[in-house]
Structure formats: structure tokens, C-alpha cells
């Protein structure tokens, strides 16, 4: 197993690192305070050809691999967690289901504008009563003539305010007495009866778009079903495997930023006549941060590498997401601690990293769900 980046991957990382440092990071704190979505940044990413990076060139994509996608998420998240999660969700949740399960016509119609940056991608799975238990979906789709009529709601949906279409799940029948038949559909956001509500007050990631979807007698053509009838839940769980690589990469990026701030501050902060980086207690904190950061990064790259090889990566994606998100939370916590009272203040940024990091232990499968997946994959 060789984790040395290819020349193309190195070029992508360097380009996005420079872009993130010049365009993303400088305004991150202000956007967080104002809860201001970074639309201009995504307009620029679209012009750079990054929004369709891992998708085929025939649909306007970049034809790159999953490792490259992870590198972009990592570098954007290092500059701004809200930007990182917006990009990750656009690709791994918005574009991936259409790429994986869409017909040729659906790919041309819906994947192409996502790749070219015409609008952002979104994905509707979670409901008020169906979070970790996605099989508890209550949104329904009833066939009437040549239309599907959808009713229900979705919550905690990323990017929907900036999407013209999104894929979501709905119950289309019963497979058995206790098992619902769940299918996936592509739904235009301007459909009559479709509402996108943005009213959440969040702990962190304030510059990202998190919405509620309400569907009241939304009529869509029968050809808008994504994949076969009854395959929606399976399709979206496959999609989440790839999404977990994105969350892991996001965790690495935020952790990298927190570690860099802590290391720099420790060298500059003088107490008792010397910089606090000279004290063994602080050195041990920084050593643990560096170690866990490197381990998390390698786990994310391994999961992405396996996906690119076409091998089963479910276990590795869950391990990477679980370890990286929990390591990120610990690193951000210690970054605040090393900064002391300053760490509690907005001006030093680490409190924002801490707030942003918490979502990573919850979104796209909680830490508890990841442990369930890993246990199943190892044969428990």
C-alpha cells in the first residue's frame, strides 16, 4: 500500500491550498459571525472546475479520483469548516447518487449542471423521526397516473437553498409487515408544494446552509425516480459510505487548522519566563495532537484509495469517519486549552473550530452508528 500522492493529486492539493489560504480562510470568522453563505467562493470553485472534480468529463466533471476529492475537502475545511461541508455535501451527497444510480438521461440533465457549478447539490434522507433509523422514513410517494405525488418532510438538509434539484427518499409501499419499501426521487426545488425552510439556530458551521424541506402534494414525473423502485434506502446507504470519506477529510482539515494555531500560539506565549511550548505538559498535548492528526489523515486516504480501486471500503470509511471526527474534537478541545482564556474568545479562531467539529461526530452517521457498522463488517 503506497500513499504517496500522484503528481496530479499534488497539483490539486497545492492549487486548493493556495485558494483556501487566499480566498477562504481570510473571511471565515466574519462569515461565521454573520451566518453568511460563501456563494462567491463557490462561484470561483465552479470556474476552477472543482465542483465536478471526481465525476466523468462527459458530464462536465474533472475525471479525478476520490483521493483528490478528499484533498480538496481537507484544504477547504482547513480554511473554513462551513465551506468544507458545503463542498463535501455537494459532491458526495448531491452528485454521487445521480452518478451512481441515475440513467444516462438523468446524468445529462441533473449531474452536468452540478459539475459545471450552475447550482449546488443536496440530498434528503433525514427526517424528524428518521435519523439513525433511516428505515423509519415517513415521507410518502404515491403513484397517480404518470406522476408521483410526494408528501412529508426532511430535516437538517445541507445546501438545499442553493439547489435546483435534489435527491430524496420516500416510502412507496411495504416490502413486508415490518419493512417499508423506500425509493429515491429527483425533485425540483421549485415544484409546487415544495418548501425549503432555513430557520435553524446551530452550534457551529454558521456559514453553511442547513434547511428543512416540506413537501405538500408535490407532483413529479415518473421518470424522476432514481434507481429501481424499492432500492432507495440501499442506494442512499451506499452513498453515505462515500460521504463518510468527505466527513473524515473535513475533520482532518479542521484539526489541522486547530493544531497549527495551537503550535504557533504555544511558541509565542510566554509564561514564567519562557514560551509555554517549553513545558512538557504542553509538549505532550501537541505531540498527541500531531499523532492523532496524522493517523486520521492516513485512515481517510486509505478509505479513498480503496474506493478508487473499486474495492469494498465500507469498514474503512466508517473507521476513518469515526476516528477522524473524534480525533478532531479532541484536537480542537486541546487547542482551546492551550490558548487558555484566549481560546474561549472568537478572535483566536480555535473556539470556532471546536464548535464546527462537533457536527462531525453526528452527521452522516453518529459515532455510535459507525461502531455498529464496523462491528457488522468485522463479523460480530
Give the pairing of strands 165-174 and 123-124: parallel
24 is written with which cell numbers? Answer: 477562504
Cβ-contact 184, 101 below 8 angstroms: yes
- Cα atoms in the Cβ-side hemisphere of radius 13 Å centred on 169: 28
185: β partners: 168, 225
Task: State the greatest distance between any 2 C-alpha atoms of the chain, in Å, as a whole number.
Answer: 80
200 is written with which cell numbers? Answer: 435553524
Q: 10 Å Cβ neighbour count for 250?
A: 34
Distance CA 183, CA 193 (A): 20
Phi, psi of 98, deg, nearest 5: -70, -40
Catalytic-residue membership of 177? no
Q: Of residues 4, 364, 368, 377, which has the active-site annotation? A: 364
Question: How many whole angstroms from its chain centre is CA 46?
Answer: 18
Return the active site residues. 364
Amino acid at each position: 500500500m503506497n500513499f504517496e500522492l500522484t503528481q496530479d493529486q499534488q497539483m490539486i492539493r497545492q492549487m486548493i491550498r493556495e485558494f483556501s489560504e487566499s480566498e477562504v480562510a481570510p473571511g471565515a470568522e466574519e462569515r461565521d459571525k454573520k451566518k453568511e453563505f460563501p456563494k462567491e467562493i463557490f462561484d470561483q470553485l465552479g470556474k476552477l472546475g472543482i465542483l465536478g472534480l471526481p465525476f466523468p468529463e462527459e458530464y462536465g466533471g474533472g475525471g479525478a479520483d476520490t483521493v483528490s476529492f478528499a484533498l480538496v475537502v481537507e484544504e477547504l475545511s482547513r480554511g473554513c469548516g462551513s465551506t468544507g461541508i458545503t463542498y463535501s455535501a455537494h459532491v458526495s451527497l448531491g452528485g454521487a447518487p445521480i452518478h451512481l444510480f441515475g440513467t444516462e438521461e438523468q446524468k445529462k440533465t441533473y449531474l452536468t449542471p452540478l459539475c459545471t457549478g450552475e447550482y449546488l447539490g443536496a440530498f434528503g434522507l433525514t427526517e424528524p423521526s428518521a435519523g439513525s433509523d433511516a428505515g423509519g422514513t415517513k415521507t410518502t410517494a404515491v403513484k397517480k397516473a404518470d406522476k408521483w405525488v410526494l408528501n412529508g418532510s426532511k430535516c437538517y438538509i445541507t445546501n438545499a437553498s442553493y439547489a435546483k434539484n435534489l435527491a430524496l427518499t420516500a416510502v412507496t409501499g411495504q416490502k413486508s409487515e415490518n419493512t417499508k419499501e423506500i425509493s429515491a426521487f429527483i425533485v425540483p426545488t421549485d415544484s409546487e408544494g415544495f418548501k425549503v425552510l432555513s430557520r435553524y439556530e446551530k452550534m457551529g458551521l454558521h456559514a453553511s446552509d442547513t434547511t428543512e424541506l416540506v413537501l405538500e402534494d408535490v407532483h413529479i414525473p415518473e421518470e424522476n425516480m432514481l434507481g429501481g423502485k424499492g432500492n432507495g434506502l440501499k442506494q442512499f446507504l451506499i452513498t453515505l459510505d462515500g460521504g463518510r470519506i468527505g466527513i473524515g477529510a473535513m475533520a482532518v482539515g479542521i484539526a489541522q487548522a486547530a493544531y497549527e494555531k495551537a503550535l504557533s500560539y504555544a511558541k509565542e506565549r510566554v509564561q514564567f519566563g519562557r514560551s509555554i511550548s517549553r513545558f512538557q505538559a504542553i509538549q505532550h498535548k501537541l505531540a498527541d495532537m500531531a499523532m492523532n492528526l496524522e493517523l486520521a489523515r492516513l485512515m481517510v486516504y486509505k478509505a479513498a484509495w480503496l474506493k478508487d480501486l473499486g474495492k469494498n471500503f465500507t469498514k474503512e470509511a466508517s473507521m476513518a469517519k469515526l476516528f477522524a471526527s473524534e480525533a478532531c474534537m479532541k484536537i480542537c478541545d486541546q487547542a482551546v486549552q492551550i490558548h487558555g482564556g484566549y481560546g474561549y474568545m472568537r478572535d483566536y479562531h480555535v473556539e470556532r473550530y471546536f464548535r464546527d467539529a462537533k457536527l462531525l461526530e453526528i452527521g452522516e452517521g453518529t459515532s455510535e452508528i459507525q461502531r455498529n457498522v464496523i462491528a457488522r463488517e468485522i463479523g460480530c
